Amino acid sequence: MARFVDQVKIYVKAGDGGSGCVSFRREKYVPRGGPDGGDGGDGGDVILFADPQIHTLYDFYHQVHFRAENGRPGMGKKMKGRDGEDLILKVPVGTVVKDAETGEILGDLVKPGQTLVVVRGGKGGRGNARFATPVRQAPRFAEPGTPGEERWLILELKLIADVGLVGFPNTGKSTFLSRVSAARPKIADYPFTTLEPNLGVVKMPDGETFIVADIPGLIEGAHRGVGLGHEFLRHIERTRVLLYMLDISKEKEVIKDFEILKKELELYNPALLEKEFLIALNKIDLIPPEERDEKISKIVNLFPEELRCKIYPISCVTGKGLKALLFELYKLVSAQRESEES
């Protein structure tokens, strides 16, 4: 299985243009044939192609240098040299392309089949036949081809999903994903089980679907590189809706955890707090049945009144409460999709 790689630096070089040809006609009974050197071929471009079948930048992890084919030199009889073939590099949908030196964003490949020319091939040089004039009937020179463009690129993958799961390690995000979709992320009772983002497709009763991304657990300081989650915070930027996953069994820390998560997102990118969101209070199965309603009510009431309508007590183990949560998530996702299309 390919390793998940979501950021790489690569060097790309377009093909050089082929040189023009210096040639003169050599025919029987034509003792002084004129110039007939052909033009050189153009160099190939380097093109990125968004392939929906690729989900990681792993192919660029070991191979860093990529060069398109050079144009071929011109030939006699005014024959143009062959153009160099373009080099097409397949990248995942959701790849952001930046110039490594300036940081300029060159493109954002968000649609399957989308292409981006990152460096253009050089032009082929003109052959000596191009320079013949009534005054200069036998030019003995031709143009060299121009060099192809070259640059270092940063490729950065941002997963495209409808819902992003945000939470501390061991709050049940992976269990949630495995319960509501066909995804099978690694699940265990220790922190940082999720070492890379996982995607799952949730299918609703009416056949409609939405995509959920399980991001590695955040911890305080994630925005500045603490823990694992900071490596994947960029993936949350593309999601339409956020689902904060909190552990209700940590009764005294639920509100504090929620505030820390919000702060980490804000410090990474303030725009993340503008996204629609819901709050899932997971692990209600750990509360004794006779105390469950009272404890849930008590914890919900700790939140500001305007947030209480966004809170859904659930158990990812037993499935309790998941149906209502998924229905509300789908409503929010659908509203965001319609807003984007209008």
Nearest alpha carbon to residue 233 among 332, 310, 162, 165: 165
pTM for the structure as a whole? 0.69
DSSP 64: -
Q: Is 26 exposed, middle or buried (0-12, 13-18, 19+ CB in 10 A)?
A: exposed
* Residue 164 contacts residue 242 (beta carbons within 8 Å): yes
Q: Is the dihedral of CA 187, 189, 195, 198 positive or negative?
A: positive
Domains of the chain: 7-157 (2.70.210.12), 163-341 (3.40.50.300)
Would you write out the chain's pLDDT as a tens digit for each of its 342 residues? 345 567 899 999 999 999 999 999 877 766 567 899 999 999 999 999 999 888 788 889 889 999 999 999 999 999 999 999 999 999 988 899 999 999 999 999 989 999 999 999 999 999 999 998 888 888 999 999 999 999 999 998 887 789 999 888 888 888 898 888 865 544 434 333 344 667 788 889 888 888 888 876 555 544 444 444 455 677 788 889 999 999 998 888 899 999 988 988 888 889 999 999 999 999 999 999 999 999 999 999 999 999 999 999 999 999 999 999 999 999 999 998 888 776
Residue 212 Cα to chain centre, angstroms: 16
Q: Supply φ then ψ for residue 14, to 5 degrees.
A: -75, 160
